[in-house]
Each structure stands twice: as structure tokens, then as C-alpha cells.
Amino acid sequence: MPQHFKIIRLILGDQLNIQHTWFNTLDPSVAYVLMEVKCESEYVTHHIQKVVAIFSAMRQFAAVLASHGHHVHYIKINDPQNQHDFCKNLEELKAQWQAHEIAYQQPDEYRLEAYFKRAFPDITPVDAQHFLTSKEEFKALFEGKKTYLMETFYRKMRVKHQVLVDSANQPIGGKWNFDQDNRKKVPKHHQFLTTELKGEDCSEVYEDILKAKIETIGNINPRQFHWTTTRTEAMELLEEFVDKALPLFGTLQDAMTENHWYLYHSRLSFALNVKLIHPLEVIRRVEQAYVEDPERYSLNQIEGFIRQILGWREYMRGIYWAKMPEFASLNYFGNKAALPSWFWTGNTKMNCLRHAIKQSLEHAYAHHIQRLMVTGNFALLLGVHPDHVDRWYLGIYIDAFEWVEITNTRGMSQFADGGIVGSKPYVSSAAYVQKMSNYCEGCSYNYQDKFGEKACPFNTLYWDFYVRNRPLLERNPRIGMMYKVWDKMGEAQQQKIREKAAFIKQHVETL
């Protein structure tokens, strides 16, 4: 007996939000459709763990929906009837089921929004019911302005959602920001309190991906897969984070170490970005920890964490929708260089880069400061074209979806937007890495030297960056000082720096 449904509702791989109002009622005339399509797995070369995590989360989400009594149709990557195109698959099902309506949720990516608008011009998508700020609110905030400060936005969000504010809408603790307490290095002999989650077996999904011949990067142990792919696991991870990591989150937020791959970070980004968990659930849980035990959870830990989700995450999404599609081609410095080939292997003698890249290949994860001040910093100093940098970040990280990847990479990290996201480029010499990590201790290069065979490449590339971009940066009030220092250096020293930087750029593959 052929099945008939009146309405087909599409669920994308990053729309696994069981709390969506779509699922509040059981309706036998509705079929929910999820599909694994090749084009989504191949528009950039993804980390194998990212593809496994998404397919695995989708399959388990479909099973949960079905267990609640909804009708679910799931098209796997190797199913013979899969046409690997959302629209073609949907049209075929529509004809087969004699359905008269297709519905979809607002996609998070510009590329997909444009695709669905073209494919279904008469359909208005429904809200994905995940973010705390609507696209329209953002457009209004950015209207007529070149920049809109994250800090201003964040304070508005604290008041709007009544997070860490008192009855007069003033910040609890008397300050909106406790960043100055949060820049500590990991103490020597520190015993980490965080533990590894027990891994799940994802061999079946992994085998399907191999069979489909999807090109991927990175490593995986399919029998011990440690990313959260269900809502239950995401809630467990949140509890684990609150219990073990939150008490030190803020203090060691910017620290880096060879001894631990996520330190006191939450690893919630994947679960958040595929919507297994809602940002307000995370924020309220963290706030509750503070209210119940302010001795253990000091305000700098709590505020530092909440700012990432209530502030940065929402803000980046706002920038994305306010500035796309132009944002994707911004290249303020006109950078042209290629990414060194060792970005794909980690085979470099530079310890910070070796560690951050090898860890990314191993876990599909690096924490924020590794992404910003190691790999991102080096790419910017080298003058790599932002398209190459974007492709690398979009592929390698478990949490990389364009709305949050490109704003962080092209905007915050590469300053290719000329100052929409940040007021100055995040660049540094070896001094920053040395201050915030133990990488320099085990490095073949010397963090204190500029010249000579063992000199850390960051040190001269740093000056070279400022010098070559002088016309674009000199008038920036947060940078002007750098040029005063440069001008005082003397011609001979300046020449030596230029020559050393040119040599490094020429021999970057051998660093």
C-alpha cells in the first residue's frame, strides 16, 4: 500500500532541534525528511570526524523523532535512490507521496539560503528557533554603521535576557567584563581536572562514508568516537563541563599547553551548532552554578564563559547576515600567499604550529587561542589569501559552519574585513605564545631571537606585517605606537628584519 503525506518537512544536518515547535504535535499527514547528500560533504574537504559526527547525529535524531511517533524518511549517503541534491530528492518524494507542500527551516548559511530560494521561490521558510537574535534585529543594529561593537551588543543581550544583571539592569559584580582576571598561563605541574568522555562506536557511519568515497582529512578511531551526537550526550557534556571545567574556565581561557588538548574549554560548539542544545540552556545552567555556589564558581569564570555564547556567538551570526555575501570576498590587505603545505600535516619544526595543527588533525578541534594566535596569527603574518585560510578552517574543525567560521576567520583572525569584527589585527611575535603556553620550551626555534638560524620566524614576520601594511594601519589609534618603535629602530636593523622575513617567506615550506 503506497504511503501518502500532505506535507514534507525537510530537516538539515545542523537543524537537530528536538524542541522545535514542529515536533509538538503528531500529525499523520506530515513526513519529516533528512538526507545525507554528497555536495554538502564535498563543498570543502572536511575532517573525517566532522562528517561522521554530522551523519551520526542526523541518524540518531531521526531515530528519536520516529520513537516519538513522527513519520520520518531518511536517505542515507549510499541509498540507490539518493540523487544527492536536496531539491531533486524532495521533488521525487513529493510526486511519490502526492504531497502538496514542502516546508523547510531557515538555513544558517547564505549558500543554502540562496539555493532554497532558487529551488522553492514560493516557500517561506520557518524559523529554526535556535538563536537569540533575529536577522532583522541585526540588520537594524548595523544599519548605516561600518562597525557595531561586540561589547555594546553583549551588554544589550545581558539586559534583554536578564543574564547576570540586577534589578536595575546593572551588571552583577559591578563590571560587565572580567577579562583582566582571565589571562593566566597553566601553572607548572598543574594536574588537569577534566576527563575524556567515553567514546561511542561509530563504525557503521564511518564505513558508509568510506564506501561513498568522500574525500576527507584528519584521523579517527571509529570505535572510540568522542564527539557528542545526541541531545542526551550534549546535556551530559554540559554537566561534565560545569562540574570539572567551569571553575577554571575563565582563568585559563587563553592558556595553551602541549599537555592537554582542550584544557578547561567546554567542547560544546558542535552540539550547539547542530542545535542539539539551545544556547539559553547552556547559559542558564552556568548562571545557576554561580548562584548556587559562588565560592566555587567565581564571577570571572562565569562571565567569561557566558560572554562567548551570549556575546560572541550571537554577534558573529549577526555580522554574517548583515554583511554577506560581500563578506566572503573581503581581502583588506590584498593577501595572495598560499597556505604552507604543512598546514595539512603539522610537519613543521615550529612547535606551536606543529602542536596546534597535529591536534586539529587528531581531534578536529583546537581551542580559540590556538586558532587565533597560533595558526591564524601565522597565516596573517605570512600574508596568506583569506580564501585559503577560510577553506582550511571550514574543513578541519568539528564545529565549522560558514556563519561562524568565516566571521571568525576572515573577520576576527585575518582582519580581511578591514575592521568590522575587530578594531585591530590579532597579530603577535613569539612573545605572546611564550607568555601563554609551554610551546616555546620544546621548540627548535628560540623565541627570543630575531636573527640567526634558530630565530623564531614569528619575530621578523611580525614586523614585516606591520611594515608592508603601513598605509592601511598607521592611522589606527590602537596601532600607531608600533610605527614609532619601528621608526626609531635605525635603517640597518630595519634592513636586517626585512631580509630575514623575506628569507623566511621564501623558505616557509622548510620551517
Task: Determine which residue in the list 163, 212, 400, 443 makes contact with ligand FAD, applying CB under 6 A.
Answer: 400
Site for ligand FAD, residues 272 to 331, rule: CB under 6 A: 272-273, 308-309, 312-313, 316
Q: Provide the Cα torsion 471, 472, 474, 480; round to 10°.
A: -160
Between 60 and 375, CB nearer to ligand SF4? 375
HSE (CB half, 13 Å, CA atoms) of 363? 18
Give the interface segment with ligand FAD, choosing from 32-40, 111-119, 121-129, 264-272 (CB under 6 A). Answer: 264-272
Please, which residue, 47 or 267, has the CB nearer to ligand FAD?
Answer: 267
**Number of neighbours of residue 190 by Cβ within 10 angstroms:** 15
Q: How far is the CB of 356 from ligand SF4 (least distance, A)?
A: 9
Of the pair 283, 504, the CB lying nearest ligand SF4 is at 504
Round to whole Å and give the CA distance between 1 and 259.
60
CA atoms within 13 A on the CB side of 47: 31
Question: In whole angstroms, what is the distance from residue 235 CA to residue 243 CA?
Answer: 12
**One character per residue 214-253, x = contact with ligand FAD (rule: CB under 6 A):** ----------------------------------------
Cell (9 digits) for 449: 631571537
- Segment 449 to 478, residues that bind ligand SF4, using CB under 6 A: 456, 458
Q: Where are the alpha helices (DSSP H) in 364-399?
A: 368-369, 377-382, 386-396
Q: Does 265 bind ligand FAD (CB under 6 A)?
A: yes
Decide if residue 264 touches ligand SF4 (CB under 6 A): no
Interior/surface letters 386-397, b for 16+ CB within 10 angstroms, e for the rest? bebbbbbbbbbb
Among 268, 302, 374, 427, binds ligand FAD (CB under 6 A): 268
Query: Judged by CB under 6 A, which of 15, 216, 269, 298 binds ligand FAD?
Result: 269
Within 368-387, which residues bind ligand FAD (CB under 6 A)? 368, 371-372, 376
Q: How many residues bind ligand SF4 (CB under 6 A)?
A: 13
237 binds ligand SF4 (CB under 6 A): no
HEC string of 95-134? Answer: HHHCCCEEEEECCCCHHHHHHHHHHCCCCCCECCCCCCCC
Query: C-alpha cell of 154?
Result: 553583549
User: Does 412 contact ligand FAD by CB under 6 A?
Assistant: yes
**Of ligand FAD, ligand SF4, none, which one sits near residue 75, judging by CB under 5 to 8 A according to partner kind?**
none
Q: Which does 393 bind (CB under 5 to 8 A by kind): ligand SF4, ligand FAD, none?
A: ligand FAD
- Quick one: which of 36, 108, 233, 405 contacts ligand FAD (CB under 6 A)? 405
Q: Is 471 exposed, middle or buried (0-12, 13-18, 19+ CB in 10 A)?
A: exposed
Distance of CA 354 to the CA centre of its chain: 20
Positions of E strands within 148-296: none
Please state, in angstroms and rounded to a whole number, the distance separating the CA atoms of residues 346 and 502.
Answer: 22
Query: What's the min distance (Å) between Cβ of 371 and ligand SF4?
Result: 15
Binding mask 421-450 for ligand SF4 (x = CB under 6 A): ---------x--xx----xx--x-x-x---
Using the rule CB under 6 A, give the single segment among 78-86, 102-110, 187-195, 365-373 that binds ligand FAD.
365-373
Helices and strands counted in the chain (H then E) = 23, 4
The C-alpha cell that represents 351 in the structure block: 612547535
Question: Which of 51, 62, 93, 70 shows the shortest CA–CA distance to 396?
Answer: 51
Stretch that binds ligand FAD, among 13-21, 92-100, 118-126, 367-375 (CB under 6 A): 367-375
Tell me the number of residues near ligand FAD by CB under 6 A: 28
By CB under 6 A, is residue 408 in contact with ligand FAD?
Answer: yes
Match 574525500 to its residue by C-alpha cell.
215
CB 69, min distance to ligand FAD, A: 32
In the list 30, 286, 404, 455, the residue contacting ligand FAD (rule: CB under 6 A) is 404
Retrieve residue 418's grid coordinates. 578591514
Binding site partner of 354, from ligand FAD, ligand SF4, none, Cβ cut-off 5-8 A by kind? none
Report d(CA 142, CA 293) in Å as an integer.
38
Q: What is the largest CA-CA distance in the chain?
A: 86
Contacts of 292 (CB under 8 A, 6+ apart): none
Place of cell 578594531: 423
In the bound complex, what is the minimum distance in angstroms from residue 511's beta carbon to ligand SF4? 8
The radius of gyration of the chain's CA atoms, rounded to the nearest angstrom, is 24
For ligand FAD, the binding residues (CB under 6 A) are 262, 265-269, 272-273, 308-309, 312-313, 316, 367-368, 371-372, 376, 393, 397, 399-400, 404-405, 408-409, 412-413
Positions touching ligand SF4 (CB under 6 A) are 350-352, 430, 433-434, 439-440, 443, 445, 447, 456, 458
